[in-house]
Each structure stands twice: as C-alpha cells, then as structure tokens.
C-alpha cells in the first residue's frame, strides 16, 4: 500500500497546522478547506476523516487550500490510521472524468472510494486448535471434539461442533478448560498471482501477429490504443491474454473490463485455464465484504488482474500496466444513472493517464472505435478467420411479407415461419442444437381489452405492462411495478376480453412447444421475473446438451461457445431498428451479428435465419452478405454527412422531477437561455421517449456541435444562466448513446 510520508522532524513552518483542500465524496462544488493535525503533512490522495456538520466523512486530500475560510474557523481533518493514500494518477483520473462529464469531482470520487472499513486492516477471525492441556473432566463428547481438533486444523466454535457432532457448549467448555486455544486467521485466503507461463496456447499465424503487437505495447510501458477487431470465434480472448501475460511479466497490474452479463464463471475458468488461477472479480454480485477485500487487494497490489464491470475503472491500482475492454461496443459500458459516463471512453483516458496500453476488443466495434482505428489513432489488429475448422455461418433472410403463413399479430399469434420451422425440424432430426432469439422478455409486450380497447400501462412510466405468463403477472420493465394478471378489464369490467399482443420469448417458447412437442427446450432471459439462476441453469443445460433448443433474449447473444449449435433463428430482426435514434442501425447490426456468431462454432457449419419485414434494408443486406465492412463504410458516410459522432459532438440535458410543471418550466427556460454559438445547434425541449419514468416527468434537450467545439465550456456557460430549484434535476449526458 502507498502510505503518506509522515514527516518525523517537521520544519518549523509546518508546526503551524497546514491547511489543505479535501475532496469529499459528495456532489459539492469542489474541495473544502481543512487543517491537518499539527506537524503533519499529507500528499494528494491521502485519506482523511473530515468533520462535516455533525458527521465525520471520509475524504481525500486533493490539493492546496482555497483560503476562503478564516483560519480560526477551519476544522481539522484526521488522516486515517496507517495513512493510506489513493494513487495520484487515480486522483488525476477523477478530476479528468469530472471535467469531461460535468459532474462535481466529489461525485466521481464517490465511485473511487469505499467505506472506511476498506482502509482498515483486514478483519481477522478467531479459530481454535488443540492445546496441550488435557481437561480434568472428560466425556465422550469432549473426547470426540478433541480427537477432531487433533488434526491440526483451526475451526470456529460452531465449525468444530459440527465436525465432531457435539453441541457448541461442549466446545466452549473445552476452551474454558484450556484444551482448545484461540488463534487468529485471515478472513480470506490471499489472491493467487496469475502465472503468465502457466498454459500458453499455440497461436495461429494471424493470432500470433496480433499478439506480438499487443505484447510489445504492453511491455513498452507507454500509452497506446489498439482495436482488436476479429470475427466471433477468431480467438480474440486468447490473443489479449498474451498481452495480459506480458504485463504480468513486467510486474504490472491488469484491468479487464467486461459488460456485466459477460462476467460469467465460464470466463473466469477460461482465465484460470490460461493463468493457473482465477482473477480478482469486481461486479454488483459481490457482497460488501468481498468488495472491501477486493478493493484493498487492488490498492495493496496483491490483486494483479481484475476482471470487472464498468465500475472497476475507478479502482485504486498503484501499478496499472494494461487495460482491456472486451465487447467494447456494448452499451452496458455507458452508465446512465448518477454520474453519466462511458466506461470504454474513460478506459482509454485512464490508460493515457497511467501511460499504458489499452486494448478494445470486439467482432462488431463501435463506429467510433472503428473510425479511430482506420484513421490510425488506434492500431487496427484484425482476425478475419475463425480458429480451427470453424467457418462463419451462412445467413439467410426470411421475408415475412412473402411467407404465405406469415406470422400475423392480430389473427394467428404465430411467430415461427414455415422455413424456420423446417430448419428446426432438420436440426432436431440430426441431433444438433438450435437457438431462437427474440430481444423481448416476458410473454407479450402489450395487453389489450378487445371490448373497449383499454391498454395496460404503468402508472409510474410511459410504458406498457408486459405479461409474464409463468408468474401470471403484468410487469413494467422500466420501474419493476407489477400486478397480478387481471381476469377482467378494469375499464369496462368485461371478462375474457384481454388479449396479448405481440411476442415475447415466453410466447415464442409456447409456440415452439406446440410445433415440437418432443424437443427439449428452455428459456434464457435477463429477467428478474424469470430469475438469473434459472437463466444460468438453462445456459449450462444447453452447453451440456441436456436441451436441444435455447429460446432467449440478448443474454444468449454473446460470449457463449456451444459447439453443437448449428441453427440460430432470429424471430424478429426488425426489433429495435425503428427507434429512429442515431445508433439504432449500428446497434441492430451489432446485436444480430453477435447472435449469428453463436452458430457453427465447431466443425459443423452453421445457418442463421433472420425473419424480417424489411429485407431490402441496408442492415439486413449487410448481414445476409456477410459484408460487415460494407455496413461500416455506409454508416460512416451517413454519420459524416449528418455531422454525427464521431464527426460531430452531441450532449443531452435530461430534465426530470416529480413536479411535471416545474420540469417543463425549467426545460423551457433552458431552451430559451441556450447561448448562440458558432457550430452549435440546440434541439428541444421535447418530452423524452419515456416522458414519465418511475413517477418522474422527463424532458430532453440535445446539443449538436462541430467536432472542434468545446462542448463542456458551452454547457457550463449555459447551465449557469438558469437557476434550477431543488425539486428538478438537470442531468448532463456528454456523448449520449441512448436517447430515451
């Protein structure tokens, strides 16, 4: 751990209490001035306990004092025991992110700090071992307990009681008699150091070439950025693991960022197979205790490789030497709540500040990264072929308009077209596996009363309630509001008139089961109503070939490797294409390409069938022709012509609050106040797509600017013009990726 240097013989001027700026993890305007205890100085990043009102808040020394508060009114901040210090580069990163995203630095610091416990020495557990004393009074139970304890292992009271099949009172008696003696154990086993030489793969020629570039970049210990652009199954993971190995040889720490849903046991095991031990994990499923422990291990340098979701970007690595963002195109890297930031973009920034290499990996890069790579700002490493015998699958479009029995929402409630059913038949007969993909959870996205036309909507959001048939409930996917499936219409009181409209995965599964009564299938859906455990179980069962068909939402789209999967059916390829937002086409292409990439990953060739009503659409055509670069070229032209990112800049203001009138008033005032500036256009305000979300009214404004414009400066000047009441929140979203 880096420690504050305590000055043993302070020069006389320091016997005056030094005054410093302390940043608190709160959304305040900046650092506050505090005194340090006499004779003590502390560097930037030194952690202190600072009084604020009647609380003690954990904060970090940030820099020189402002000097606005009179010396006699200053309170004293106490350095934490052991004088822990956040790495200086992390402090610089916090400042950078705050400036870029227009968040108060304290709000960003909050993401880089943990609770006080994380900075205290690790808690120890008391356990007991056999002592030399023989208790004066022996019983069968006591003898049994001593015999078990005789193996030399340290156990807790209850642990020993359980192992010896005696009551805890017996164990306590033995402790009192001195026959068992207390010993302190660390709460956790130490993290193992991954071994770069554990099981190096033999790479094919393309892989070896890319790996060499990345190894050298990793060894160079200076900033460089790389796009590892390889088709699904080409071995991107194997290749970037070689860069990880090199960083380990250089005694550097490594951060691998994954979208939360890709953080699976499968990935951790794969890492262990290459490096001999699992990496340190960082994600939302960890307990507070595990988080504190991982945080501490990163800060002390004990954790050498962290695999984490986006928030791991703010961990206090003292010697970070490589950052990897896998599936870099994923929208999940954009944090939308609280401080809004894009973890992929900020990963590049962190690497620049740390002066190390950053690798972005994807089979379908974001257009931003693609442009950076083809323009030479990033090195562009391509893997064009799947590893081994595997071929890319054939992709065919099924034109739903021309299918005689075309699925028809109102009348038939059918979603699997004859050609798709026919292909499923063949695959099942051959004993192979298939996947049906529909990016919609639940049974039906809308429930309608046939008699009066009533539509079930969420009382807190502008969203329909989605039927979940298994649970017999209607649920809002935005806020989690639920109600039991009603039997009559709440508006006209008719019974038996409620009809489901449109398909969700549950409904596709129902239809599939009707057509293929003997096939074994499961649903995998990222759904709280369905359950993550059930979903993981379905994926495992599919991998073990205990089921023939997996019917899933986007959770099945990426990362998984199923060798016997030869058919992927996309039930509705047009979903998401009609949002009309800037990235809808790119997103649709990426998602469908990823889903398609699940098929034919081993020896047997794969087939992908896309059901669509827009077969002429550029996205569908590019997918069918396997012309990824053609799609990117076209998308690039389109963005360039419209001055959209990355050829222009965007920022959004989202105004929200429970008082709808206040929200609209502020939105209007902001709209009016927008300063005129060259190469800047302001659109709105308009009601957001979810004009009501979790009970809050939402309005949006969009800033479109030429690339050279200092958008942050513009926004700051603008926001200073309107006084916003406490009941209304104005969130700034620089480089928005979602327009909801």
Q: Interface with ligand ADP by CB under 6 A: which residues?
A: 201, 203-204, 207, 230, 232-238, 387, 561
Least distance from C-beta 630 to ligand ADP, angstroms? Answer: 21
Chain residue whose CB lies nearest ligand ADP: 235
**Largest Cα span, the chain:** 92
Tell the smallest beta-carbon distance from residue 267 to ligand ADP (Å): 9
- 610-621 per-residue burial string, b: 16 or more CB within 10 A, e: under 16: bbbbbbebbbbb
Nearer to ligand ADP, 471 or 604 (CB): 604
Rg (CA), the chain: 30
Structural contact between residues 111 and 311, judged by C-beta atoms closer than 8 angstroms = yes
Residue 69: both structure tokens together: 């508060």
Tell me whether residue 560 or residue 698 sits nearer to ligand ADP (CB atom): 560
Q: How far is the CB of 210 from ligand ADP (least distance, A)?
A: 11
Q: Which does 461 bind (CB under 5 to 8 A by kind): Zn ion, ligand ADP, none?
A: Zn ion
Sign of CA dihedral 112, 117, 119, 124: negative
Residue 443: partners with Cβ closer than 8 Å, 6 or more residues away: 466, 467, 468, 469, 500, 504, 506, 507, 510
Closer residue to ligand ADP (CB): 362 or 525: 362
State how far Cα 632 lies from the chain centre: 25
Taking residue 447's Cβ as centre, other Cβ atoms within 10 Å add up to 23
CB nearer to Zn ion: pick between 236 and 440: 440
Quote the least distance from Cβ 361 to ligand ADP, whole Å: 7
Residue number, 222 or 561, with CB nearest to ligand ADP: 561
Closest CB 237 distance from ligand ADP, rounded Å: 3
Residue 236 interacting entry, from Zn ion, ligand ADP, none, C-beta within 5 to 8 Å by type: ligand ADP
Distance CA 717, CA 729 (A): 17
Contacts of 25 (CB under 8 A, 6+ apart): 57, 58, 59, 106, 107, 109, 110, 113
- Residue 458 CB, nearest distance to Zn ion (Å)? 3
Q: Which does 235 bind (CB under 5 to 8 A by kind): Zn ion, ligand ADP, none?
A: ligand ADP
* Binding at 207: pick from ligand ADP, Zn ion, none (beta carbon under 5-8 Å per type): ligand ADP
Rounded least distance, CB 207 to ligand ADP, Å: 6
Question: What does 458 bind: Zn ion, ligand ADP, none (CB cut-off 5 to 8 Å by kind)?
Answer: Zn ion
- Which of Zn ion, ligand ADP, none has residue 479 at its interface (CB below 5 to 8 Å by kind)? Zn ion
700: closest CA among 668, 664, 655, 645? 655
Pairing of strands 498-501, 446-449: antiparallel
CA-CA-CA-CA dihedral for 202, 204, 207, 209, to nearest 10: 100
Choose among Zn ion, ligand ADP, none what residue 238 binds, the Cβ cut-off being 5 to 8 Å by kind: ligand ADP
The listed partner (Zn ion, ligand ADP, none) that binds 478, CB under 5 to 8 Å by sort, is Zn ion
Q: Which is nearer to Zn ion, 478 or 536 (CB)?
A: 478
Query: If contact means CB under 5 to 8 A according to the sort of partner, which of ligand ADP, Zn ion, none does residue 204 touch?
Result: ligand ADP
Picked from ligand ADP, Zn ion, none, the partner binding residue 481 (CB below 5 to 8 A depending on kind) is Zn ion
Q: How far apart are CA 466 and CA 681, in angstroms?
A: 38
User: At its nearest, how many Å lie between Zn ion and the CB of residue 476?
Assistant: 3
List residues near Zn ion by CB under 5 A: 458, 460-461, 476, 478-479, 481
| Residue 258 or 397 with smaller CB distance to ligand ADP | 258
**Residue (683 or 689) nearer to Zn ion, CB:** 689
CB of 222 to Zn ion, least distance (A): 49
Which CB atom, from 378 or from 512, has the smaller least distance to ligand ADP?
378
Give the containing element (helix H, strand E) for 288: helix 288-300
Q: Report d(CA 610, CA 571) in Å as an integer.
A: 7
Cβ 48 to Zn ion, closest distance in Å? 42
Q: How far apart are CA 577 and CA 256, in angstroms?
A: 31
Shortest Å, Cβ 223 to ligand ADP: 24
Residue that the structure tokens 């003590």 belong to: 40
User: Where do we find the tokens 């986006």?
Assistant: 310
Q: Which partner, Zn ion, ligand ADP, none, binds residue 586 by CB below 5 to 8 Å per kind? A: none
Q: Which is nearer to Zn ion, 222 or 455 (CB)?
A: 455
Reference 388, options 267, 561, 536; nearest CA is 561
Q: For residues 97 and 634, give the distance between their C-alpha atoms in angstroms, rounded to a whole number.
A: 32
Name which of Zn ion, ligand ADP, none residue 671 binds, using a CB cut-off of 5 to 8 Å depending on partner kind. none
Q: Helices 205-220 and 236-249 meet at what angle, rounded to 10?
A: 30
Q: Phi and psi dihedrals of 527, rounded to 5?
A: -135, 130
* Helix 236-249 vs helix 265-275: crossing angle, to nearest 10: 50
The DSSP letter of residue 495 is B
Measured from the CB atom, the residue of 479 and 703 that comes closer to Zn ion is: 479
> With contact defined as beta carbons under 8 Å apart, do 598 and 562 qualify?
yes
Rank residues 466 and 701 by Cβ distance to Zn ion and give the closer one.
466
Tell me the closest approach of the beta carbon of residue 664 to ligand ADP, in angstroms.
47
CB-wise, 39 or 201, nearer to ligand ADP?
A: 201
CB of 337 to Zn ion, least distance (A): 15
552 binds, among ligand ADP, Zn ion, none (CB under 5 to 8 A by kind): none
Which residues pair with residue 155 across a beta bridge? 128
Helices 584-596 and 628-641 cross at an angle (nearest 10°) of 170
């Amino acid at each position: 751990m880096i420690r504050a240097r305590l000055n043993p013989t302070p020069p006389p001027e320091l016997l005056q209490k030094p005054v410093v700026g302390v940043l608190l993890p709160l959304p305040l305007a900046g650092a506050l001035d505090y005194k340090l205890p006499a004779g003590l100085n502390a560097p930037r990043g030194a952690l202190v306990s600072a009084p604020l009102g009647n609380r003690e808040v954990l904060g970090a020394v940030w820099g020189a004092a402002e000097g606005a508060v009179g010396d006699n009114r200053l309170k004293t901040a106490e350095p934490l025991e052991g004088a822990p210090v956040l790495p200086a580069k992390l402090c610089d990163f916090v400042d950078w992110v705050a400036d870029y995203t227009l968040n108060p630095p304290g709000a960003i610091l909050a993401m880089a700090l943990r609770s006080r416990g994380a900075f205290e020495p690790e808690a120890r557990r008391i356990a007991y071992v056999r002592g030399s004393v023989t208790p004066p009074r022996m019983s069968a139970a006591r003898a049994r307990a001593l015999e078990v304890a005789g193996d030399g292992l340290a156990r807790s009271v209850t642990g020993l009681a359980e192992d010896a099949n005696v009551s805890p009172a017996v164990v306590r008696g033995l402790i009192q008699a001195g026959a068992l003696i207390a010993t302190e154990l660390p709460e956790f086993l130490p993290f193992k150091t991954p071994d770069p030489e554990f099981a190096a793969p033999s790479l094919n020629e393309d892989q070896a070439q890319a790996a060499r570039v990345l190894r050298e970049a990793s060894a160079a210990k200076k900033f460089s950025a790389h796009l590892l652009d390889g088709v699904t199954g080409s071995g991107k993971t194997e290749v970037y693991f070689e860069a990880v190995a090199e960083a380990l040889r250089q005694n550097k720490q490594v951060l691998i960022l994954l979208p939360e849903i890709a953080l699976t046991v499968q990935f951790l095991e794969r890492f262990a197979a290459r490096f001999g031990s699992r990496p340190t994990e960082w994600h939302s499923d960890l307990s507070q205790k595990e988080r504190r422990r991982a945080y501490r291990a990163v800060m002390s340098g004990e954790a050498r490789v962290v695999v984490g979701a986006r928030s791991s970007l703010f961990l206090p690595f003292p010697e970070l030497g490589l950052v990897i963002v896998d599936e870099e195109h994923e929208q999940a890297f954009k944090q939308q709540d609280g401080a809004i930031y894009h973890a992929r973009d900020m990963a590049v920034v962190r690497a620049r500040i740390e002066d190390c290499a950053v690798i972005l990996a994807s089979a379908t890069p974001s257009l931003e990264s693609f442009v950076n790579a083809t323009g030479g700002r990033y090195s562009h490493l391509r893997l064009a072929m799947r590893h081994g015998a595997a071929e890319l699958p054939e992709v065919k479009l099924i034109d739903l308009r021309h299918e005689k029995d075309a699925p028809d929402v109102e009348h038939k409630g059918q979603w699997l077209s004859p050609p798709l059913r026919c292909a499923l038949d063949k695959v099942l007969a051959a004993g192979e596996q298939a996947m049906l993909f529909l990016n919609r959870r639940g049974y039906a996205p809308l429930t309608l009363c046939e008699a009066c036309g009533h539509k079930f909507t969420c009382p807190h959001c502008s969203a329909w309630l989605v039927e979940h048939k298994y649970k017999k409930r209607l649920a809002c996917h935005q806020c989690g509001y639920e109600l039991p499936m009603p039997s009559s219409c709440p508006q006209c009181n008719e019974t038996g008139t409620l009809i489901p409209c449109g398909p969700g995965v549950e409904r596709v599964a129902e239809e599939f089961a009707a057509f293929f009564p003997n096939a074994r299938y499961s649903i995998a859906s990222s759904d709280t109503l369905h359950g993550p455990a059930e979903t993981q179980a379905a994926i495992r069962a599919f991998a073990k070939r205990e089921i023939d068909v997996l019917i899933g939402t986007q959770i099945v789209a990426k990362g998984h490797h199923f060798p016997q999967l030869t058919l992927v059916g996309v039930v509705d390829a047009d979903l998401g294409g009609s949002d009309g937002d800037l990235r809808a086409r790119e997103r649709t292409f990426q998602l469908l390409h990823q889903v398609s990439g699940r098929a034919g990953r081993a020896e047997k060739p794969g087939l992908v069938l896309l059901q669509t009503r827009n077969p002429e659409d550029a996205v569908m055509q590019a997918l069918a022709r396997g012309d990824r670069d053609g799609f990117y070229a076209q998308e690039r032209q389109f963005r360039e012509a419209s001055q959209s990112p990355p050829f222009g800049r965007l920022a959004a203001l989202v105004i929200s609050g429970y008082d709808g009138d206040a929200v609209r008033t502020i939105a209007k005032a902001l709209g009016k106040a927008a300063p005129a500036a060259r190469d800047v256009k302001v659109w709105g305000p308009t009601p957001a797509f979810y004009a009501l979300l979790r009970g809050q009214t939402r309005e949006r404004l969009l800033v479109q600017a030429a690339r050279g414009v200092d958008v942050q400066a513009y926004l700051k000047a603008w926001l200073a013009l309107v006084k916003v009441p406490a009941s209304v929140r104005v969130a700034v979203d620089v480089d928005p990726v979602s327009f909801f």
